[in-house]
Structure 1
Amino acid sequence: MADRPTPTGPAAPELSIVESRVYRGGNIWSYNPAIHLVVDLGVLEAYPTDTLEGFTDRLVELLPNLENHTCSRGVKGGFIERMREGTWLGHVAEHVSLQLQQEAGHDLRRGKTRAVKGQTGLYNVIYDYNDEAVGLAAGSLAVRLVNHLVQTEEGFDFAEELDVFLRRAQRTAFGPSTGAILEEAISRDIPYIRLNSASFVQLGQGVHAQRIRATMTSKTGALAVDIAGDKDMTTRLLGSAGLPVPKQEMVRTADGAVAAAKRIGYPVVVKPLDGNHGRGVCLDLTSEAEVRASFDIAEGESKRGYVIVESLVTGRDYRCLIVGGKMQAIAERVPAHVIGDGSHTVAELVEITNADPRRGVGHEKVLTRIKVDDAAIGLVRNQGLELDDVPPKDQMVKLALTGNMSTGGISVDRTFDAHPDNVEIAEEAARMIGLDVAGIDFICPDIASPVRETGGAICEVNAAPGFRMHTHPTVGEPQFIAKPVVDLLFPPGTPSRVPIVAVTGTNGKTTTSRMIAHIFKGIGHKVGMTSTDGIVIDERLVYKADASGPRSARMVLQNPRVDFAVMEVARGGILREGLGYDRNDVAVVTNVAPDHLGMKGIDTLAQLADVKAVVVEAVPRNGFAVLNADDELVRKMRRKCSGGIVWFSLQPPGSKVREFIEDSCRRGGRAVVLDHTERGDMIVIKHGRRSMQLAWTHLLPSTFGGTAKFNVANAMAAAGAAFAAGAGLHEIRQGLRTFTTSYYLSPGRMNLVNVHNVDVFVDYCHNAPGMRVLGEFVESYATQKAGQSDLGKVSRIGMVSTAGDRRDDDMRELGALAARHFDVVVVREDERKRGRPTGETADLIAEGAKAEIGKEGVRCRQVEIVLNEVDAVRHCMARANPGDVVVLCVDQHAEVLGELEQMTKHAQAGAHNKEGIGDPDLDPVEMQSEAQQAGDDAAAAEASEVEPATT
């Protein structure tokens, strides 16, 4: 791009965010959670970075760490080289978004920018994130900054905007303690789910899940927390065990505090009964006036209004961290202070100290900035100084009495200096209170000497102690104390994940998911399943909605009963939010067929296959992908799988697909195939050179005697998934033999109901590929039924529809395929029109069906439109005669099954009111002409019941 002439510059920057998405798991762009922005460069499409004078230098001046970005060059400075040579501003926004998050302490490096096909100036900008709110805010600020550097935005101050961004990131970020535990969990491959915007986190999945809130865990007893929060009760319990504690009394009034101080003996300490972080603690009080003044301070921080007066124990302040009853770390806490240098005032020394890059606001960084408040000013005065005074060189000026890190104190690691007697005392104190993770505060001359000899005491026991002073000591070696906490929750060898089987495909994924869940339910697992009908936990529907997206997957993984998960994964969920989890042990892809094309940038079958392949990419090295070898697009997905492959195929021996499978099995592969014999079709599982007969297809209830080939394929896919997940041959066989398409086990999927001797199938078929296989089943079933009937003829009536967001041609194709297999096609509409006016979807389907009437091989003679679903059901049933087959492609299956049940219950003579309805077995043209020409009233009345063929 270096030879491109330099334009004068755009009139006004127009870089804008058109659309933003948050992927919460694997997605079509990345294996990791990612932010996806669609940005419009507008006029800036004509201005790459090398044409914008000074742009690169100004950007690097504001964000110098961009020099560390390697970009595609693979070396530091690679991105800056790209900008100087010329790159588009969408690419710049990607790197700025990553760098802004790095400024907030998030170590993120992956991103990509790709042009939106067929749309000039639009780009997909994808980059990693840790916190989605921070990631989105980074993208928004990055776009503003790029526009500002192209042309100055009035009132835009990047330093101020960056500070606001960092403060926002700090508010939503995990604290140091939670962060340390999560880092340890991640290093052990333990997944986590954030349960709120604070520090409430679930580690592990399903039945193995443990929860933490900061350093409080699922194993922390509520009673122990209450005791630790009651300083009076804590001291009593520790004293009863013979542990060194100060004398103390609990009071409610200032007079009571003074009286208690006299009984205990000055100097004393006044502190709230249930405070924390050292707030409200007043030390070294030597007079009645000081006690009265301190009482108000302590009472203001007490939740219940009680105040503790206790004897002052002198010495250094130590925090002992006890995890699982064992001492893990000890830190000496030094109160906030400055050291005089002989030239700067106290106030200046505080500013210099706070300028330390390790100090931040609250728990933003490893140290907290020193706050100069009234208490600090008073303490400085007690040392004979004012803030404007210059203290002598090397003089320590205290700014706080307590050594809490949250008030600006520092820590010195003393883990390996503690005397064994002191360690034993601290461990016993934690056991007495009953805390699994406890912070024991010691005051003593030196932790290296036994406190029972040198003097000292336990002044406090803390539930949920902070880890920052141990993981990031100001002086000394850091202690990796998150390890024993995670050991406590997940002892070595303990599982943290539940097996996850993900099922996707254009058709058959819901039935396949239910088959897999049924197999493992029979083994004894508590199965959590997501599907288009809702979330099912242990065969109970707990959430009714289309639950095939990532949020539903997370709901299953949060349920504490689930020990096996089956996830139906739909195209829309993947495009919208990704998978919602990091990996699945088994991925099943049933097929890829034209459906949902033309939506969200997916215009071709190859692109749709790439979306479906996300579940295959999420298979780990020790996992499996169960792939349909009969589908070329699915077969190609094997290249995207890190684990093993289990093939399934309906093709007979000798076919090219079977030769491909046999070759794979000779190399140790796995497959589920169909062997054709004189007795019927046998499902066979192959593993290497070993073949294992599983079941006859005609003995599986879901296949209707082997005629429902699509359910044969679904059963084979389910068998492959169960085999890959560790189920035994007998368990798989038993699961498939007991799985039926009853409404109880498979609502809305091939449910067979007999109403007045009419076989009614209720199914969800809603696209042309589904109608093709459903029509083949209807042909086989009706032919078989006709052979068993005295009449020898079975009429077929079909109710069809599809969602309004399909393409017009897809709707016409659906109608055309229905016309080939049904004598009468009744077209209805879904309640949700998805952007189309009422009647438009039905008209397009009917148009496709009518265009087929009269063609060779087409059965249909009548096409009717009844928009309301229940009314359409009634219309279909009114048209049917005993022995006929009715197929209802439904949207609200519960309402339809309820209507059919009512028809069955209230059967009576004459219940079928056929006024205005004809019999599709008769020729309506002949009936009409003969009756009306004769002028016979009775015949005319009979003929009037038959409608024209093209109605």
Structure 2
Amino acid sequence: MPAWKSITNPSQAMLIQEVRVMRGPNMWSDSHSHVLAVKMHPSVPSISTGQLQAISDYLAPLAITESDGTERETLLLRLTVRLAAALQGSEMFHGLRAPTSDLTFGVVGYEVEQAGTVAVELASSILASLLEGGQPPTFAEAAAVVLAARRRYGEGPSTTMIIDAARSKNIPVTPGPGGYTILGYGKHQKKISAAMSHNTSCIAVNIAGNKEHTKKFLESAALPVPKGVVVAEELDLEAAAERLGFPLVAKPFNGNQGRNVTCGIYSLDALRDAFRHAKELSRSVIVEKEISGSDYRILVIGGKFAAASLRSPAMVIGDGIRTVAELVEQENNNPMRGQGHENALTKIRLDQSSETLLASQGLNTGSIPVMGRQVCLKSTANLSTGGTAEDVTDLIHPLNIRAAEKAARVIGLDICGIDIVSGDIALPLRENGAAIIEVNAAPGLRMHKFPSKGASREVGAPIVELMFPQGDQGRIPIVAITGTNGKTTTTRLMAHVASSAGKTVGFSSTDGIYIGSEKIQSGDCSGPQSARTILHDTTVDFAVLECARGGIIRSGLGFDQCDIAIVTNVAADHLGLKDIHTVADLAVVKSVVPRSVHKDGWAILNASDDHAFAMREALRCRVALFCTDHENPRLQEHLNAGGTAVYMDAKQDIYVCHEGAALFMLNAAEAPITRRGLAGFMIENLLPVALAAHLSGFRQSTIADALKGFVPSAEHTPGRINEFEINGVNVIVDYAHNPHGLLALAGYLKNIPGFKTGIITGTGDRREEDIAAFGRIAASMYDRIIIRFDRDLRGRSQEQILDILASGIREKDPGRQFEVIPDTQTAIHHAVATAEKGSVVVICADNATYTVGLTKIVAAQFQSEAQ
């Protein structure tokens, strides 16, 4: 059970019907990618005056008032997202968004997805409880639950600093598998884990993790280190003490973060206790001569000194009133202190080592130190044990900088934290008996960014600069393609051209994910997760991503920005699903893709499509047009203004106009995908590809040769006019599954002579008017109609689908007859068996790959019968 459930009443009706988690550019906000879109339950009742008063009383201390929403219909939604923002502990983006006329969602930002989701659920639960007169958790209790989720799932401070620095350079950041963070895309990506980078040497990490080996490497380079020995058995401690002399330090052989380290050992008994404490973490224990002085941390990045801090162990100062335990509690209430690494400082935890150290000072946790007395609570100065840090970057002696840089080189770490004990870091190490006591891989960065005293140092930036030098943003070209029809063919064409230009292309579409020539995943892969799969592939240097409506609605885009966006068209499809009821609504969803183009990139829009063309008004990038009609007024106006476009003239010659020049590409009939120039909708798919390829810097000859060499087939372009000759009949399988697509197919079939049989069906989750329109169009383009049914009827019965299709057919032709053969394979076989030689049978299929497979089975059956 989630933690937040434990402090709410499970019987309370939640106010929320749905929460959509956006992880990229989305339809809710142009400036925020990480948002939650909240839909209220339609049965939420109106609010009475008494209920409103109860809500107001709860929210008043948070400065959330009824004025946050004057309309009672949206008041609860406004208050839900406002409260969810407050529960996350910062002034998070929030508000209401209505991208379409009848669609209103609450939108709230998040920094940690799981914490944001918990915040929304808790906000809803609190308001529901108040409406029912219940006792919801206090704001502090709810905020603590959200904070726990943030701690559990959020990034640590070092990772966050590097991520922030990367984003400031416009380097894309995405979570990777196993908790790693990926900076950049494709072949240019780098991985980080806290302050350990893509380039960190495994051998160097092993050396740094072995304190004895570290010391030997430093000694070999004539760098000062404390004298010490490795002790595995307690019996050897006395000899070690005699050899080294007190005071001593004992620490685990391979420990970190100062855990189980004991300093200031002045007796054999204390040494034995320290040995046992260190043995809890390590089989062997390092016993060293204690170096007198202060504890300094030197940060070296890429072999260059970056920052220095003076670290002090956790301590409290007596006031003559409070006990040590009470003073620790008071200090832990400092807002700068948090659990673990969540804040600038870590809360102090009193443990056995603290008790021992207190005893050496003549105190215990119940003692009341006199006013002004400093009480040391830890023997090490690590921030992870409650220590503090003061920035001394400007004080360190140049010779000490050279020594630190040398130590980093000797160990071989690209990001290195060097611990030095010195009486004064402003003096050379050898002048005051100082020594390097430790070298750390993946050093903590927060002490430098958030010192208790002194200047803040932006140490994340040089780490990013080390991985991405000289303005490198770690990006690869991304062409994103959306629209209602033609997306997959356009995607495949674009990928083919880029591959012909020598690129290692990753592309995703409705039939799979491809890396180079290999299909690595089958199925509908047109969503954001498929895009991320491609962008995380280390071989890809050019991405072509099909972006369908479903993924955009569900969680936004799978990338932060693209270089080129193509919008093929916007027509009725999937209407009535996920709150998208009109073509205008659908256009809002599709517009997310061109709005994700960076300001110097290109949106290539269909000039002949009203909704696609209208998208240009909301874009920050450069706009180009494509059109098969050279005389199109929109195209002509754009060209006359010096705009970039691609078009086809009356001779079917294709030209790209860019920067005042018209470049001939090829004749449309030369591209096999256009079926000798007869398939107008295929030409519409080809045109934006020719322009996108040109804008990508590919040569005209490369583009033309690639388009001429793209041969459509059932394997290469499944469901895109796949033709089979079966028993003397021309059988065509096409993906036309909505009225717009069927009209486009009709335009091609007009150019094909012969009797035409159409095998059609209706998709159950489409609107009734769309299924009926499919029937009307089918009646106008086929001489004979056979109705079949999909395996998945998507919410409607066969009888319902049949009735709607029949109504559309008879609306067009009242006397029209049709056959009903429910099974698809049987329908194909029957159509071919009863068709005249030389005629055409067309199978319209939503699942084109499956239907192509059935068609091949039928072909084999006829071939077997002929033998």
TM-score greater than 0.5 by the shorter chain = yes
Find the residue that maps to 1:177 and give its secondary structure: helix
Alpha-carbon shift at residue 429 of structure 1 (Å): 1.2
Aligned to 1:547: 525
> Which of 530, 535, 551 is the equivalent residue of 2:513?
535
Find the residue that maps to 2:750 and give its secondary structure: helix
Find the residue that maps to 1:415 and give its secondary structure: coil
Alpha-carbon shift at residue 132 of structure 1 (Å): 1.5
More deviation in 450-459 or 687-696? Answer: 687-696
Alpha-carbon shift at residue 37 of structure 1 (Å): 1.1
* Per-residue CA distance 1:49-68 (angstroms, 9 max, x = gap): 9x83475454131x25x5xx
More deviation in 402-411 or 735-744? Answer: 735-744
Find the residue that maps to 1:692 and give its secondary structure: strand
Conserved 8 A contact 2:248-2:289: yes
Provide the rounded CA distance (Å) in 2 between the counterparts of 1:36 and 1:190. Answer: 26
Matching of residue 178 in structure 1 with residue 177 in structure 2: no
Conserved 8 A contact 2:28-2:99: no
Alpha-carbon shift at residue 470 of structure 1 (Å): 0.6
Find the residue that maps to 2:866 and give its secondary structure: coil
Conserved 8 A contact 1:245-1:458: yes
* Per-residue CA distance 1:463-496 (angstroms, 9 max, x = gap): 1000011110101111111111000110023232
* Per-residue CA distance 1:858-886 (angstroms, 9 max, x = gap): xxx76333333333333333233432222
Provide the rounded CA distance (Å) in 1 between the counterparts of 2:306 and 2:659. Answer: 51
Shift in CA distance, 310/831, structure 1 to aligned 2, threshold 3 Å: farther
Aligned to 2:760: 800
* Per-residue CA distance 1:893-944 (angstroms, 9 max, x = gap): 44544455566667658539xxxxxxxxxxxxxxxxxxxxxxxxxxxxxxxx
Conserved 8 A contact 1:15-1:42: no
Shift in CA distance, 408/574, structure 1 to aligned 2, threshold 3 Å: same
Conserved 8 A contact 1:56-1:84: no
The equivalences for 1:723-762 within 5 A come to 723-762=694-733
Matching of residue 665 in structure 1 with residue 639 in structure 2: yes
Alpha-carbon shift at residue 461 of structure 1 (Å): 1.0
The equivalences for 1:109-508 within 5 A come to 109-112=93-96, 124-150=105-131, 152-154=133-135, 156-195=137-176, 198=179, 200-302=180-282, 305-508=283-486
Matching of residue 89 in structure 1 with residue 63 in structure 2: no
Conserved 8 A contact 1:14-1:43: no
Aligned length: 854
Calculate the TM-score normalised by the size of structure 2.
Answer: 0.93
Aligned to 2:4: none
Shift in CA distance, 887/258, structure 1 to aligned 2, threshold 3 Å: farther
Conserved 8 A contact 2:829-2:858: no
Shift in CA distance, 268/422, structure 1 to aligned 2, threshold 3 Å: same
Aligned to 2:665: 694
Matching of residue 60 in structure 1 with residue 47 in structure 2: no
Alpha-carbon shift at residue 14 of structure 1 (Å): 6.5
Shift in CA distance, 43/431, structure 1 to aligned 2, threshold 3 Å: closer
Find the residue that maps to 2:258 and give its secondary structure: coil
Q: Which AA in structure 2 matches 1:604?
A: T
* Per-residue CA distance 1:400-454 (angstroms, 9 max, x = gap): 0000101110001111111122111111111111111011111121111111221
Aligned to 1:817: 777
Conserved 8 A contact 1:14-1:42: no
Matching of residue 27 in structure 1 with residue 26 in structure 2: yes
Calculate the TM-score normalised by the size of structure 1.
Answer: 0.85
Conserved 8 A contact 1:824-1:863: yes
Aligned to 2:7: none
Conserved 8 A contact 1:249-1:310: yes
Q: Which AA in structure 1 matches 2:165?
A: E
* Per-residue CA distance 1:10-58 (angstroms, 9 max, x = gap): xx99761111111111222212231011123856534489x83475454
Q: Which AA in structure 1 matches 2:169?
A: R
Aligned to 1:944: none
Find the residue that maps to 1:566 and give its secondary structure: strand
Alpha-carbon shift at residue 208 of structure 1 (Å): 1.2
Matching of residue 39 in structure 1 with residue 57 in structure 2: no
Structure 1 or 2, whichever has the larger Rg, is 1
* Per-residue CA distance 1:178-207 (angstroms, 9 max, x = gap): 111111111111110012585x21111111
* Per-residue CA distance 1:704-729 (angstroms, 9 max, x = gap): 11111100111112122223333333
Provide the rounded CA distance (Å) in 2 between the counterparts of 1:795 and 1:741. Answer: 24
Provide the rounded CA distance (Å) in 1 between the counterparts of 2:654 and 2:71. Answer: 61
Provide the rounded CA distance (Å) in 2 between the counterparts of 1:176 and 1:880. Answer: 71
Shift in CA distance, 910/15, structure 1 to aligned 2, threshold 3 Å: closer
Q: Which AA in structure 2 matches 1:212?
A: I
Shift in CA distance, 770/480, structure 1 to aligned 2, threshold 3 Å: same
* Per-residue CA distance 1:252-306 (angstroms, 9 max, x = gap): 322244443443333322211211111111222233322322222212122xx23
Shift in CA distance, 47/196, structure 1 to aligned 2, threshold 3 Å: farther
Q: Which AA in structure 2 matches 1:133?
A: Q
Conserved 8 A contact 1:269-1:281: yes
Aligned to 2:693: 722
Aligned to 1:946: none
Alpha-carbon shift at residue 148 of structure 1 (Å): 4.6
Find the residue that maps to 2:306 and give its secondary structure: strand
Shift in CA distance, 827/255, structure 1 to aligned 2, threshold 3 Å: farther
Matching of residue 876 in structure 1 with residue 831 in structure 2: yes
Find the residue that maps to 2:378 and give its secondary structure: coil
Provide the rounded CA distance (Å) in 1 between the counterparts of 2:161 and 2:340. Answer: 17
Provide the rounded CA distance (Å) in 2 between the counterparts of 1:253 and 1:324. Answer: 39
More deviation in 189-198 or 129-138? Answer: 189-198
Conserved 8 A contact 1:211-1:218: yes
Find the residue that maps to 1:781 and give its secondary structure: coil
Provide the rounded CA distance (Å) in 2 between the counterparts of 1:834 and 1:309. Answer: 72
Q: Which AA in structure 2 matches 1:189?
A: N
Shift in CA distance, 296/420, structure 1 to aligned 2, threshold 3 Å: same
Identity %: 39
**What residue ranges of structure 1 are gaps of 5+ in the alignment?**
1-11, 67-78, 783-793, 856-860, 913-951
Provide the rounded CA distance (Å) in 1 between the counterparts of 2:52 and 2:727. Answer: 78
Conserved 8 A contact 1:269-1:309: yes
Alpha-carbon shift at residue 322 of structure 1 (Å): 0.8
Aligned to 1:942: none
Q: Which AA in structure 2 matches 1:89?
A: L
Q: Which AA in structure 2 matches 1:59?
A: L
Conserved 8 A contact 1:665-1:687: no
Shift in CA distance, 183/865, structure 1 to aligned 2, threshold 3 Å: same
Provide the rounded CA distance (Å) in 2 between the counterparts of 1:192 and 1:728. Answer: 32
Provide the rounded CA distance (Å) in 2 between the counterparts of 1:117 and 1:727. Answer: 42
More deviation in 265-274 or 443-452? Answer: 265-274
The equivalences for 1:913-924 within 5 A come to none
Shift in CA distance, 545/262, structure 1 to aligned 2, threshold 3 Å: farther
**What residue ranges of structure 2 are gaps of 5+ in the alignment?**
1-10
Shift in CA distance, 293/700, structure 1 to aligned 2, threshold 3 Å: same
Shift in CA distance, 331/474, structure 1 to aligned 2, threshold 3 Å: same
Shift in CA distance, 155/127, structure 1 to aligned 2, threshold 3 Å: closer
Provide the rounded CA distance (Å) in 1 between the counterparts of 2:623 and 2:671. Answer: 25
Conserved 8 A contact 2:27-2:99: no
Conserved 8 A contact 1:751-1:762: yes
Aligned to 1:940: none
